[in-house]
Amino acid sequence: MTVKIKVYSDYVCPFCFLAEQPLEEAMKGKDVEVEWMPFELRPYPNETLLPEGDYLQRSWKQSVHPMAERMGINIVLPNVSPQPYTHLAFEGYQYAKLNGVGNEYNDRILRAFFQEEQDIGNVGVLTKLAGEIGLDEKEYRTALENRTYREEHQKALQHSYTEADITAVPTFIIGDKVVAGICSKENLEQIINEEIDKQKFNGFNEGMACGIGGC
């Protein structure tokens, strides 16, 4: 049985980028399916943050950079001012997911922002990045310009805000367990293994009941 993992994140959240590596390591060799879910920290028309502002300068110095150094991950505070809105990037994610490269798209957008300082709120930049992972650039750009996936993105966003009741990112839902914040590879692996064992146990019990009752 496949363990389903939902990861709630925003493309301008550095901790969401840092959370990728331990998750990928924890999933190796396991039957795991990951779905990235949108969570806009500052949806339009709310003002986004300034990289030169006190808040980001302080939080990166005190939290982001020390954590990234411990994890051995290269990350920079992107010099894109103000920070971009992420709704277009997320609408592009819906297109990428339908074309079977949602996870690759998610990774490319995060790396483009936090390692290459690209403006992921710009349609031209997003289109180029989509092409780099094999998506049709013309189709992708048209989808963004026509807001083809706006409704799909809004549905996913409302699920995150209301149904799933997510209040911080990154948040992982592994089976029925909710884990907020960055987790180590070891902790994630343990949770995934527990979910695998639970599925095996439930499957065994169902098989026994079926045998006894003559399904």
How far are the Cα atoms of 52, 67, 115, 135 from residue 73, in angstroms, in the given order?
A: 22, 9, 10, 27
Q: What is the pLDDT of residues 46-96, one digit of tens each?
A: 999 999 999 999 999 999 999 999 999 999 999 999 999 999 999 999 999
What is the three-class DSSP state of 8? strand
pLDDT average, residue stretch 122-140: 98
Domains and CATH numbers, the chain: 3-213 (3.40.30.10)
pLDDT average, residue stretch 144-155: 98
Whether residue 215 is predicted with pLDDT greater than 50 in this model: the reply is no
The reported pTM is 0.91
Structure tokens at 169: 């990112």
DSSP letter (8 states) at residue 83: P
Percent of the chain with pLDDT over 70: 94
